[in-house]
Chains A and B, each alone.
Chain A
Amino acid sequence: MLDAIDKTLLKTVAELEELPKGAYNIRKNGKLLSRHVSANINIETNADETGIIVKIKPGTKNESVHIPVILSQAGLYDVVYNAFIVGDDAEVTIIAGCGIHCGSSEPEGHAGIHEFKVGKNAKVTYVEKHYASGEGAGRRTLNPTTRVFLAEGAHAQMELTQIGGVDEANRINEAVLGPDSLLLITERVLTDGEQTAVSTNNIVLKGAGSRANMISRSVMKGNSKQIFYATIDAQNKCYGHIECDAIIMDNGTNETMPSLKAGHPDAELTHEASIGKIANDQLTKLMSLGLTYDQAVNRIIQGFLK
């Protein structure tokens, strides 16, 4: 059922060697390849058959859902709408990812629109990895969108990673936070060659006591370009922080625009941004421990994107 390329892509984006335990839904070239549901986690195709609805029962503990997408069909642009409804007090890990293998000169792409409704006091960890490979010259596009709605006391931790090989990415993250909810987003993007990536983030702190921390780590190699927009809109007594760091290698370019809006006198908002080459003192330190210049560069980038 899974061929060698599928297995490689699955391993890279979902760290799966074989079919996972628990609930999963594997989509290949725009069609369902395999699905498994569990007692607490239901997966069904949505009404207009454009994606899936994942429902997690209230109070579910320590379960996971894998929903990888693999593309290896030339010329296909696959768009999918997935909804996650996480019941009150549930604790769940959702592992998504898209791997593209492009073996021809035809373009391939995927747009995954993921919407999360996280119930009261529920905790969600969402891990998303994007990766493209293959010897073909076809343009590989990945445009993921996540929309998160956190109910009172809900926690969401989101790890969003674009590892490499993606020619064009237009990434959008949106979130609306209820009272006392917490959102942690870490986005890591590595581009190379002539690749471009744009990341647009809008976080609305609506409820009293809501907290958000957005961390972005970008590395631009070759002539690649990344643009990062992040806005935190505070509408209540809340706390928000944006931390965006970009490392330029070769001739990469970067634009970073963190923006803070305080619409409430008790809003506490901060941001820090940096763009630059790898710091000399870091390279010197690692070389003084015996690494060569190139090894030191790799070690620093590996840590930065970890």
Chain B
Amino acid sequence: MDILEKLTILSDAAKYDVACTSSGVDRSGAPGSLGNAAACGICHSFSADGRCIALLKVLMSNACAYDCSYCVNRKSNDIRRATFEPHELAELMIQFYRRNYIEGLFLSSAVLKNPDYTCEQMIELISLIRNEYRFRGYIHVKAIPGTDEKLLTTLGLLADRMSINLELPSNNSLQMLAPDKTRESILKPMGMIKDGIKENKTDLVKYKNTPQFVPAGQSTQMIIGATPETDYQIINLSEALYKKYELKRVFYSAYLPVVEDRNLPAISSKPQLLREHRLYQADWLLRFYEFQASELLDEKNPNFNLLIDPKCNWALNNYDNFPVEVNTAPYETLLRVPGLGVVGAKKILRARRVGKLDFSDLKKMRIVLKRAQFFITCKGKTVLGIKYDPESVLRGLISDQSWELAGPPMEQLSLFNDIKVIDTGSFNIMDSKKEEIRQAKIKFLNENSNAQSNNFILNESTLQSNEFFMRGERQKCLTGQI
């Protein structure tokens, strides 16, 4: 089998791994070696699905000894198998790196024979890259649960980031879909890596030349939508992973049906991309905005609102905290304003030191007011000089979204009915995301239709007429009539 064929099989098998980041470690180049690493991470390309390509993401082998039902590489699946020789993959990776195609390597593997043997093969490959090629760039390895601790330590000293896939959000689901793995076998090495990093940090203070153990930290990923866990369970799990295991990142991947199995969603089901998006937004709130999982969801409302992002949702439920005055609010409060990010809040902090800010100033500073306008005041005034209540704000927020998301694109008015040609073939992923929002919107509006001042019957056709959202509703929301 030639290398092109191997690369095709083994990158195809690796593509469902989410993490492709190269961040977390700064390492300058050195004479006689190759490569460096930047803590901010550098993407080198973006594939047709819009995801970043920073690393050469491949499996070392897809000849798996396990039989996890959600996985394409499971033993019982009839697919072509391939395994890279260490020198082959090392040369390929280095040649890609020299051409600035990639930032480093993301090495994962199916279980070859057993976890220990697989780990030994990985160590051989990465030692070759680090020692023979003197490579100082980024390497991310995926550890396999059940590997011997000593081997993991050796691997950790060669890699920048290590990750162990949590696979599924609960032990029950794991037992059902991945019988060869248990929650304990996954969490144990995670704990070991965490301790290793900690120990290594104290050693580094004592001895300058201690080799670094997983300097960019560890991450994990889980599949969502294949099993019945709620967002509340998932986000609590992530919070625990960040706090207890000091993970750098938790990745979520919407389940894409790849195999037929009675325990899995039907192969025709659509991936829950919007739900995945909301989980990532919430994940950001946990990591950078000092939110607690318990603030975002609770047992009564265990899932995220698909219509508005988690921060808006929180703000509406706690509307008595708003609006906040841009010119005086502390940083932590600004961070909690929907539509304001870390960069925006810092900009405000900086600019207000030299003068009072107005809405026009914020606009000039490129602060996006689309969502923030409902939650802030400048010099005591809201953008339109009126008071909002949560109800009107919610309407403002979702009808704003409808500009882009609701219904078909705007059409020229015509005296005659257009003949509609339904093209089912072009239903792509963007449409399915829109569709998800649209359905949620119809549901919401139907539930709240008595709140309408005018007697619109809310169904698909009123939604599609655009008129309702764009002219009437939106205008009213903005002027606070509702």
Verify that A and B bind, or say they do not: no
